[in-house]
Structure 1
Amino acid sequence: MRFPWGPGEVTDLRTVGDRVDTLTDLSEVADGPGARLRAARAQGEAFRREFPTTGTPDSVVTCDLITLPYPTRFGLFRASKALAPFLSITNRMLVIRWRESDGGRRVLLFEPSDHELGRYTPYFDTLSARTPGVIERRMLREHGTVPGHLARLGIAPEDVTHLMFDHLHTQDLRRWIGTTAPQADLGGQPRAAFPNAKVIVQRDELAAMADLHPLQRPWYQPAAYADVPPEAFLPIDGSVVLGPGVAVVKTPGHVFGNQSLVLNTSTGIWVSSENVIAAEALTPEHSALPGLAKWSRRWQQEVVLNANTIETTADQYNSVVLEKTLADRSQADPRFPQFFPSSELTGAWTNPGTGPTFVHGSLTHRKA
């Protein structure tokens, strides 16, 4: 199908941020996945020491978008003993604001999912068609929309400078960044809701989306990118510091071009991505979820992955350990890290055995 870029054709797009030399491409470590794991820990510890010197953003606000069902076998990969085939996850958007050294204001939306269009992702579209409406309505709850939350916060659409996702699974960005041609399903040619915003994405993911592997196809909506303007994207290679206390760290595995948001706040360092769906998945020895602690002990694995895709599982494991190394411990319960899942496990009576031991619920920060 037609695509704005082909494999190897994204090198001329603009980039953003200051490269983090401490965090190198672990795929270049020659001695295999075990050596890469050790390198992930060492590099994470080094960046954790230097990152606070960049400062803190002005504010971070959490906005709930939607709670939806998700297969237990994906979200708690191999570890869960829950009888429920589905658990619930809540998708949330983070709104991060800061000023550059020249006084320029920046507004980053992390995970601004257009969940109305995201439902047409092949996997979720198929699941919806097979689920009776009465059950689907009980398991799916809409909390708010991206435009609605921004209006509540007093942020004008033209003030948004950056959009970012940990990866582009399920995402349809046409209403956010506009298109270069009319869209039949949208009733015309949508104007960009965020006319000044650029999408920060790993170059690896843009290349992969141009030539999807069959394992990837259930989770992407490639047709939604056929007519998006290429100049709306800011591809990066690896990890960068975007602003004071705001960084993007490359965390491949869940997808080839996965990335995590790292924030330095008044409570220390936070990390956010969908590599895992609960903070306790980083310290399963403290989890009361059925099976997790026992599974971790038996197989001597220190993290429980979110594994709806298994593009490079060992790399994802190493990336999660990097995230765990970067994050400070929660002030509410030091057994758990300040890892804020972009899709967080949420207890529901419909899903017995999947109620989380600990939830963050929100990530908030305001500069003193």
Structure 2
Amino acid sequence: MSAFESIPHFDDSRAAAGQQARVEDTRIAAQQFRQHMLNGPKVRYFESFDLITVPYPVRYGLRNAFSRERFVEYMHIQNRLFVVQFDTPDGLKTLLVSPSDHERNIETPFFRRLQDRTAAWLTKLIIKRQSSVPQILERIGLRPEDVDYITYDHLHTQDVRRWLGTDKTPGLLPNATLLVHWREWESAKDLNPYQADWYCPGGIAGIPESKVIGFDGSIMLGDGVALMHTPGHTEGNHSIVVHTDEGLWVTSENGVSVDAYAPLLSTASGVADYAKMIGTEVIINGNTLENAVDQYISMVQEATVAGPSRRDPRFPNVFPSSEMTPFWMFPGTRPAFYVGHARHGTLQRP
């Protein structure tokens, strides 16, 4: 951990007794941290890659806000891999953000039940597999041994054994270590039934301790990239903040659409009306509801750090790790703003 710089901006920002006071204190801290990041260097390279599109219940993704829930049960979410390269005192490092092993992740109990009760022809229609992590690395010219770190904003549905290996089997990314908030790691090892429904069984079983770096709070990994603790969706949820030519990208799954961070502008059915009715700034992704109060604060924090998008400044520069994607079978789920893809800088190959 000595190689990573602690980020003090959010220390005690949620200590106030009042819930809205915590929002405002965190917003101020986020503004200060945003300026700190913008004053610093950018990453060498950042690019997003599509992995798989899967159905996800609208009652979770757009918690209480979607008006067609009686008729449209699901939305499509696009799961992505992000490849980031950045400078450190120890040289150039390569980070994979959200390298999902979607072949194994299907064993997550919620998705296993969904697939088992869905006809095979319909499953093929609504699940779109675009690529895999090894295929993407090969396509862009990176070897598995070139990857230094992997991280996920949280460990829902993730099976990391193929990448890191176990005490019995070597991993496909021989030099990679997992960066994970210590609360997320400890939670994943000792789940209650409500949370276990969203974690892949055995997904971290047998991972050697040497392959895991647990951190506390928020940390800078190197030039232009930070892991920012944003609890709520899970206790150890963190967001990935990356400084690029397009400003600060902030990635997590606290919200499943940029619309969720600017709901008054949303074109998803009922979302804008709901946000106006209750006066909310954000729409949380609430499949587990570990702490909705913290998740609300975290989404305000993320939007503030991200700042306005250069593509459309009405929206924040948030890049959801799983983004609500238009699909003809799920009417009413088309977002007003869709990120899709981003690429900045030049990949350094060995």
Do 1:205 and 1:255's aligned partners in 2 also have CA atoms closer than 8 Å? Answer: yes
Distance 1:325 1:20 in 2: 16
RMSD over equivalenced CA pairs, Å = 1.5
- Please list, as runs of the form range in 1=range in 2, the aligned pairs for 1:191-202 lying within 5 A after superposition: 191-202=170-181
Give the whole-Å Cα distance in 2 for the aligned partners of 1:367 and 1:17. 24
For 1:155 and 1:32, how far apart are their aligned partners in 2? 49
Distance 1:25 1:221 in 2: 33
- Pick the aligned partner of 1:95 from 64, 72, 83: 83
Distance 1:342 1:148 in 2: 19
Quote the offset at 1:222 in angstroms: 4.3
User: What residue in structure 2 maps to residue 175 of structure 1?
Assistant: 162
| Equivalent position of 1:45 in the other structure | 31
Q: Give the 5 Å matches for 1:114-153.
A: 114-153=101-140
Verify: 1:111 aligned to 2:98, yes or no: yes
Q: Which runs of 5+ in 1 are unaligned?
A: 1-13, 182-188
Residue by residue over 1:287-321, the C-alpha shift from the partner in whole angstroms, topping out at 9 and shown as x without a partner, is 11111111011101110111111000000000000
Structure 1 contact 289–357 (Cα < 8 Å) conserved: yes
Task: Give the Cα separation in 2 of the matches to 1:67 and 1:40.
Answer: 33
Question: CA–CA distance in 1 between the matches of 2:192 and 2:20?
Answer: 26
Deviations 1:117-172 (A, max 9, x none): 00000110011111111111110000100000011111111110000000000000
Report the alpha carbon displacement of residue 221 of structure 1 after superposing the two structures with TM.
2.3
Distance 1:297 1:360, change over 3 A: same
By how many angstroms is 1:30 displaced? Answer: 4.3
Offset at residue 36 of structure 1 (A): 1.7
Deviates most, 253-262 or 354-363: 354-363
3-state SS in 2 of match to 1:107: strand
1:228 corresponding residue in structure 2: 207
SS of 1:23's equivalent in the other structure is coil
CA distance in 2, matches of 1:15, 1:109: 21
Separation (CA, whole Å) in 1 of partners of 2:245 and 2:205: 42
Q: Is the 8 A contact 2:248 2:306 kept in 1?
A: yes
Does 1:65 pair with 2:51?
yes
Matches within 5 A, 1:1-368: 17-26=4-13, 29-82=15-68, 83-102=71-90, 104-181=91-168, 189=169, 191-366=170-345
Pick closer, same or farther for the CA change 1:16–1:33 going to 2, 3 Å: farther
Give how far 1:99 is off.
Answer: 2.2
Question: Which residue of structure 2 lines up, in the alignment, with residue 5 of structure 1?
Answer: none
Counterpart AA for 1:45: Q
Give 1:100 deviation, angstroms.
1.9
Relative to structure 1, the CA distance from residue 142 to residue 25 in structure 2 (aligned partners, 3 Å threshold; closer, same or farther) is farther
| Contact kept in structure 2, 1:88 and 1:351, CA below 8 Å | yes
Q: CA deviation at 1:366?
A: 1.0
Shift of 1:26: 4.4
Paired residue type of 1:208: S
Contact in 1 for aligned 2:65/2:270 (Cα 8 Å): yes
Aligned residue pairs, count: 345
Rounded to whole Å, the distance in 2 between the matches of 1:289 and 1:308 is 18
CA deviation after TM superposition for structure 1 residue 328, in Å: 2.3
Mapped partners of 1:209, 1:277: distance in 2: 22
Query: Aligned equivalents of 2:181 and 2:89: distance in 1?
Result: 25
Quick check: 1:201–1:235 contact (8 Å CA) kept in 2?
yes
Once the 2 structures are TM-superposed, how far is the Cα of residue 180 of structure 1 from its aligned partner? 0.7
- The alpha carbon displacement at 1:101 in A equals 3.6
Q: TM-score, normalised by structure 1?
A: 0.91
Alignment partner of 2:39: what SS? helix
Distance change in 2, residues 1:204/1:32 (3 Å): farther
Q: Is the contact made by 1:157 and 1:194 (CA closer than 8 Å) also made in structure 2?
A: yes
Stretch moving more, 222-231 or 340-349: 222-231
Deviation, 1:34, is 2.4
